[in-house]
Amino acid sequence: MKKQIKIMFMCLGNIIRSPLLHYLLEKRLEEEGLQGKIVVDSCALTSFHVGEDMDPRMRHLAEREGRPLPKHRAKLFKPEMLKECDYLFVVTKEILEAMQETTTKEEVKKILLATHFSPEYLDKDIGDPYYGGSNYFLKIFRMVDAIVDDLVIEFKKRIA
């Protein structure tokens, strides 16, 4: 039996983009019967929002889109998280570069943009809607939803 695949998502504060990726992917994996084979988590690069729940604007949007999200508690990245996961998906090139500068050559191979496996959004940043309006939140939600579908396709191949 193959070991579990452990995926970690990272954004700046772990209150919008990375938890949205985390929980939408968990839900899709559950729908596909893959829970337990792939474990998903999320974290923040900065300590700005540690301990906080998800941004209420994204939580409400997800509910309106028929995708209610579980309670969340933002947490800060710790180096041991990278050692424990198989993939660290980050939401921007800026975060990617910051993480690559602080890791070993072996660990750097685990760090990818969240859009790495997405034909539609390949290697694009997932913008931060924090200071944006509701239309920008919706744009990011739809982008993340599509990226999650692409991740499911990719990881179904990897565990087959």
145 has pLDDT over 80: yes
128 has pLDDT over 60: yes
pLDDT of residue 3: 82
pLDDT of residue 160: 78
Mean pLDDT on 120-140: 97
CATH topology of domain 5-155: Rossmann fold (3.40.50)
pLDDT of residue 152: 97
Other C-beta atoms closer than 10 Å to the C-beta of 135 total 9
119 has pLDDT over 80: yes
Dist. CA 117–CA 72, nearest whole Å: 26
CB distance 83 to 73 below 8 Å? no
Mean pLDDT on 73-98: 97
Mean pLDDT on 10-29: 98
Burial 8-22 (b: 16+ CB within 10 A, else e): bbbbbbbbbbbbbbb
Distances in whole angstroms, Cα of residue 160 to Cα of each of 1, 15, 89, 111: 11, 32, 21, 23
pLDDT of residue 2: 58
Dist. CA 29–CA 40, nearest whole Å: 10
pLDDT of residue 1: 46
**pLDDT tens digits for range 24-77:** 999 999 999 998 999 999 999 999 999 999 999 999 999 999 999 999 999 999
**All structural domains of the chain with their residue ranges:** 5-155
> Across the strands, what pairs with 27?
none
pLDDT of residue 112: 98
